[in-house]
Amino acid sequence: MSKSVVVLGILMMLLASSLGAQEAQFDVKQFTLDNGMNFLVVERPTAPVFSGFIIVGVGSANERTGNIGSAHLLEHMMFKGSKLVGTTDWDAEQDLWAKEDSVWARIDMARRQTRYVALNNPEKLDAHLKFIESLETILDSLAEASSQYVIQNEFDRIYTRNGAAQFNATTGYDFTNYFVSLPSNRLELWFLMESDRLKHPAMREFFPERDVVAEERRQSVENSSDLKLFEQLIGTAFISHPYQIFWEWRSEETNLTRDDLMTFFNTYYIPQNMAVAVVGDVKLDDVRKFAEKYFGDIPRGKDFEPIYTEEIEQTGERRVDLHYESSPAVNISYHGTAFDSPDEPVFQVIQRLIGDGRTSRLYKSLVLDKQLCVDVSVDVFPGNEMGDLYPGVMNIYAYPRDEVTTIDVEAAIYEELHKLATVPVDSLELTKIKNNIDAAMIWSAYDNLGLASYLASTQALTKDWKYLYKLRDKLKAVTPEDIMRVASQYLADEKRTVATLIPLENGGDNE
Amino acid sequence: MNKIVIMIGLLLLAVSAFGQQQYPRDMKFPQIEFNPATPQEFTTDNGIKVFFLEDHKLPVVTLNAYFKGGDIYDPQDKVGLASLTASLMRNGGAGKLNPDQVDFDLEFLAANINCNSGERDYNIGLRTLRKDLDKTTGILADIILKPAFDTAKVTLEKSVTQDQIRRQNDDPGQVTRRVFYQTIYGDHPYGWYATLASIDNITRADIIDCHKKYFVPDNCIMAISGDMTLNDVKVLLKKYFGDWKKAELTLSAKAMAETSYKPGVYYAQKDINQANIRFGHLLMTDENPDQYAFEIMNFALGGGGFSSRMMSQVRTTAGLAYSVGSYPVYRQLMGLHFSYCVTKAESLSKTLQMMFDVINEVRNNGITAEEMELAKESTINGYIFGFDTPSKLVNAYARNELRGFPKDKIKTDLEKYQAVTLEKCNQVAKFYLNTDDIVIVITGNKGLFDKPLDTFGPVTDVSMEIQ
């Protein structure tokens, strides 16, 4: 690779507007395959690498009781390989999986019957439990049998051997993201690997992987004071909308089956429901050629019904406590808007105003001036950068100083929110926010993966990557009056949900 | 790379051209030539060593100023001094600006200045839009040259730090990590953590002295990248750092860490439904040439994610954990090797034994040639990602200079990885790996564990009292 660092300006910066503001412009090429799969390409030959980012328009909000955890476990299973990767005999595996599944279904049924056997025929309980055990032994031996065809973790190994970085995936509420960065001469490898797992997902090593996601929940939620509290907050803030489930429950995910996942996959992993971004040292023509070759033969899927369930109106303040072995904390939520609501840009400006940086309203007041908190921060849930598919919540997280009560912390927060609704924001403060909006967009292009994620997620959410310009213009048009109106409407006392962590003393020794 | 492998690869590619199925495992690619730009470097009249990489693709600039110093130079009764000095440079006012004005001026311009104290150096970093460079560099210079250390902010920063210490037992992972470092390094500075008392002992005068001692131009190395020319850099540094007076700094010598701990289990009681495990032993310094072979060997052992034995056995096959792995840490005064895992409480002993077995298997029988090739290919092919933005590249040069490493280290490191042999991997495995004389830290609720903790050695209860 030549010293092209200096010469190749990929982003054209326009020294625009009388204020001297700098606005980002992205040189994005776009094409759509006949099956509806959309591709965004930024040719940026700075270093001989590229990032590939695939977004599927599905997440945990698409689950219902009975298949909760499908989106996340499916994302895990996508790393198990495909038809071409990770197996010595794809057909033999399919047969064994079918057998495993039928045994599992019987175990499942028998386990659910246990309580009725215990209740109505206690004398048969022992035999019943032995029966379950014998089925489990059969399941184990079937798993053992299928393992002989498995080339373990080969999907990871192939990428790893080829120098992959940032290889991962994330499951959100509306979107699931798959991404990796590779040396640029591996472009075709990426297309082959990704297309094969999106055509032939491998449900191999299914049962241990279900245990892995259960362990992930224990680690990330059950033994984390922050997320344990947040789960209570979200579960209380939402009554009817599927956003109410912050993280899949263990009782649900440990009962998922391969069929559950394949149904989910067949419904949502369809080409017209995917957006792809490729950023780096690549050529549009190559990307297009490989896209046709590897993704072109996936048939367009049947459109699915969007979520129509709406959150019911909140009728007063809601409160929930968590008694836990940890220091005090308080989380406060307010219902917000979906990305396409006219109030959404105002909401985003409010979020920055109260939560962005040391000069933000809350940090300045609670940490620096009144010294009530160790830290305070603000975010939006689910929290897509361009806004969320359905109305989410804005959350305030506050960590009180030693011997400060959460009551005093709450009072100081509400004082700031009331001020927002009653006193116009001065123009200097609003200009600060707008400067940061421009700068964030410029910095978003600093590395390949960041830009790929930014573009693909905008495309997936709005079906138009250029929406990021439209949103920027809307954000910059927000007025002090807009802020007062939206603050008084959405951030009213009776619209809030409050979750409080109340410390338990250390020493819960269960011996 | 074995020639036969390449030929088979080519053969398969040729076959695939005739319509046969192409398998990703058979696709071979030439190695990307690693030839990143070389930063320009110069030293200012007052001794600032500057590395600069011109890059006009975005209208932004990053500037990092490094200073030798940092946490290991804290006096034992004032642990936290370097860290407080750094945060108060940023938050305690600078030049003519009071603390609130520093915050507002930076945030109004959407610029960011971070001041951090690390193990052996300070890092003062600026990220700014090009158009505001003059103004933001002015603030950066005031922070480095003329921090005000506002009295009220000193009090605030100290008391917030103490409140953070009061919260140090909230997160099980943080507890496990802290207890592990404290135990394995014992009385060496690497094992010291700030306490309520050590923060109490730090005065504003200590902070002023600390700043005065370390923040001098001939102890400063700058890494600058972005939308400017070499001449722009020189003019800018002259304007804001030209009057900064040299003052020779003598760093006090620090002793190497030695093994002083009592091997066994260190148990931190917390009422959670998992066991948070971290175990290991001292290893080698960051100048030890064995590190390249160790790195490759450890990739196969537990550092290579899904491509490692630990992940394959504990997670993929047994489903016992979401997080599991092993990593070497190379440090100036003695590094360490640790393995970690988080598993449900009732599978603690099963998991721990499985991890020991993996380590012992590698120690006794080594890794395979195939595992070594995978680790080497991954390291070599992925090497570029450590240097794929101008900022990463120029900062790598500055950090190597700071640590006294040779200028061409980023290139010679790659060659050293390429030269690693299986014999050397297995030699370092046998020499360094150990599951007997080790520190095992377990955070959790022993009432829920599948076996008593003394199965794995003598047990010491760790005090969870906040001091």
Give me the pLDDT at residue B152, please.
98
Distance of CA B55 to the CA centre of its chain: 26
Cα torsion A192, A194, A199, A204 to 10°: value is 110
Q: How far is CA A293 from the centre of its chain?
A: 30
Amino acid sitting at position A477: A
| Residue B20: per-residue pLDDT | 75
Coil, helix or strand at residue B225? strand
Contacts (Cβ under 8 Å, ≥6 apart) of A42: A10, A26, A27, A28, A29, A277, A278, A279, A280, A451, A452, A455
- Residues of B in Cβ contact (< 8 Å) with A158: 24-25
Q: Quote the strand ranges of B75-155, DSSP E.
A: 112-117, 121-129
Please tell me the distance in Å from A58's CA to the nearest CA on chain B: 23
Decide if pLDDT at A4 tops 60.
no
Tokens 């491509």 sit at which residue? B307
Task: Give the model's pLDDT for residue B19.
Answer: 61
Whether cis (ω within 30° of 0) applies to the bond prior to A382 is yes
Sheet of B40-43: strand order equals: B40-43, B49-54, B220-226, B60-68, B121-129, B112-117
C-alpha to C-alpha distance for A366 and B92, rounded to whole angstroms: 17
Residue A385: predicted pLDDT: 87
Give the angle subtended at the CA of B199 by the CAs of B196 and B205, to the nearest 5°: 160
pTM (two decimals): 0.94
Q: Which amino acid is at B460?
A: T
Residue in chain A nearest B377 by alpha carbon: A161
φ, ψ dihedrals at A422, nearest 5°: -120, -25
Per-position DSSP letters for B249-317, written without gaps between them? --PPP-PPP---SPPEEEEEE---SEEEEEEEEE--BTT-TTHHHHHHHHIIIIISGGGSHHIIIIIII
Amino acid at A444: S
Model pLDDT, residue B173? 97
Q: Please tell me the predicted confidence (pLDDT) of residue A505.
A: 75
Query: What is the average pLDDT value for chain B, to the nearest integer?
Result: 95
Single out the residue of A59, A253, A91, A248 nearest to residue A169, CA to CA: A59
Tell me if B109 sits within 8 A of A20, measured CB to CB: no
Query: What is the C-alpha to C-alpha distance for residues A406 and A397, in angstroms, rounded to an integer?
Result: 11
Mean pLDDT of A89-110: 95
Global ipTM? 0.93
Tokens at B231, concatenated: 């001449």
CB within 8 Å of chain B, chain A residues 257-316? none
Which residue in A376, A421, A406, A418 sits closest to A498, CA to CA? A406
Contact A208 B166 (CB under 8 A): no
CA distance A300 to B54: 47
CA dihedral A428, A432, A438, A444 (to 10 degrees): 180
Contact B384 A224 (CB under 8 A): no
Which residue does chain B place closest to A364, by CA atoms? B100
* Cα–Cα distance, B112 to B102 (Å, whole number): 11
Give the nearest partner residue to B448 out of A192, A448, A510, using CB atoms: A510
Q: Which of A1, A2, A4, A5 to mutate to test the interface with B (most CBs of B within 10 A)?
A: A5
> Does residue A263 have a pLDDT over 70?
yes
> Phi and psi at residue B41, in whole multiples of 5°?
-140, 145
pLDDT digits (tens, 9 = 90+) for A359-394: 999 999 999 999 999 999 999 999 998 999 999 999
CB contact under 8 A, A325 and B270: yes
Give me the pLDDT at residue B32, please: 84
DSSP B27: -
| Structure token pair of residue A400 | 């009180």
Nearest CA-CA partner of B306 in A226, A81, A443, A500: A81
The 10s digit of each residue's pLDDT in B59-117 is 999 999 999 999 999 999 999 999 999 999 999 999 999 999 999 999 999 999 999 99
For the cut 60, the answer to whether the pLDDT of residue A510 exceeds it is no
* Residues A32, A38: Cα–Cα separation, whole Å: 4
In angstroms, rounded to a whole number, what is the distance separating the alpha carbons of residues A376 and A135?
A: 52
Alpha-carbon radius of gyration of chain A: 26
Amino acid symbol at A498 = V
Distance in angstroms (rounded) separating the CA atoms of residues A28 and A455:
9
Cα angle value A152/A156/A161 (rounded, 5°):
110
Beta-carbon separation of A163 and B389 below 8 A? no
Find the mean pLDDT for residues A251-271.
96
Please tell me the predicted confidence (pLDDT) of residue A50.
98
pLDDT higher than 70, residue B459: yes
Amino acid identity at B216:
V
A274-280 and A38-43 strand pairing: parallel
Non-local CB neighbours of A472 within 8 Å, separated by 6+ positions: A23, A437, A438, A441
Q: Sheet with A318-324: list strands edge to edge.
A: A318-324, A496-503, A329-335, A393-400, A373-381
- Comparing A1 with A471, the larger pLDDT belongs to A471
CB atoms closer than 10 angstroms to residue B160 = 21
Mean pLDDT of A210-234: 97
- Cβ contact (<8 Å) for A215 and B29? no
Mutate which of B13, B28, B381, B393 to disrupt the A interface (most A C-beta within 10 Å)?
B381
For residue B312, list chain A residues with Cβ-Cβ distance below 8 A: 152-153
B459-461: strand order across its sheet: B321-329, B336-344, B274-282, B439-444, B264-269, B459-461
pLDDT value, residue B31 = 87
Beta bridge partners of B221: B49, B66
DSSP single-letter state for residue B111: -
Q: Which residues of chain A make contact with B341, given a CB cutoff of 8 A? A: none
B358/B398 Cα distance (integer angstroms): 38
> Is-contact A145 A131, C-beta < 8 A?
no
Lowest mean pLDDT among A501-505, B8-12, B67-71: B8-12
CA distance B154 to B207: 9
Total residue count of chain B as it appears in this document: 467
Chain B residues with CB-CB distance to A358 below 8 A: 91, 103, 107
**CA–CA min distance B127, chain A (Å):** 10
A2 versus B68: the higher-pLDDT residue is B68
Interface test with A, best of B53, B54, B167 (most A CBs within 10 A): B167
CB contact under 8 A, B446 and A509: yes
Share of chain A above pLDDT 70, in %: 95
Helix H or strand E segment including A40 = strand A38-43
Q: Please give the single-letter amino acid code of residue A117.
A: V
Mean predicted confidence (pLDDT) in B159-177: 98
Over residues B338-361, the pLDDT tens digits come to 999 999 999 999 999 999 999 999
Q: How many other CB atoms sit within 10 Å of the CB of residue B35?
A: 12
Q: Alpha-carbon distance A176 to A311, whole Å?
A: 23
Residue A10 is predicted with a pLDDT of: 34
Average pLDDT along chain A: 93
High-pLDDT (> 90) share of chain A, %: 93
pLDDT over 90 (residue B455)? yes
pLDDT digit string, tens, across residues A134-169: 999 999 999 999 999 999 999 999 999 999 999 999
Structure tokens at A92: 């033999």
Residue B440's closest CA among B360, B357, B356?
B356
SS3 A183: strand
Amino acid identity, position B24 = P
Distances (CA, A) of A134 to A75, A101, A139: 31, 15, 9
Mean pLDDT of A463-492: 97
Closest alpha carbon to B101 in A436, A351, A358, A370: A358
Query: Helices A480-490 and A344-355, interaxial angle, to 10°?
Result: 90
For the segment B132-161, the average pLDDT, to the nearest whole number, is 98
Query: What burial class does residue B242 get, using C-beta atoms within 10 Å of its C-beta: 0-12 exposed, 13-18 middle, 19+ buried?
Result: middle
For the stretch A302-335, pLDDT in tens is 999 999 999 999 999 999 999 999 999 999 999 9
**Amino acid B318: pLDDT:** 94
Q: Which of residues 48-107 of A touch B (CB under 8 A)?
A: 48-49, 79, 84-85
Q: What gap in Å lies between CA B33 and CA B28, rounded to an integer?
A: 15
Q: What is the DSSP letter of A222?
A: I
Span B441-451, mean pLDDT? 98
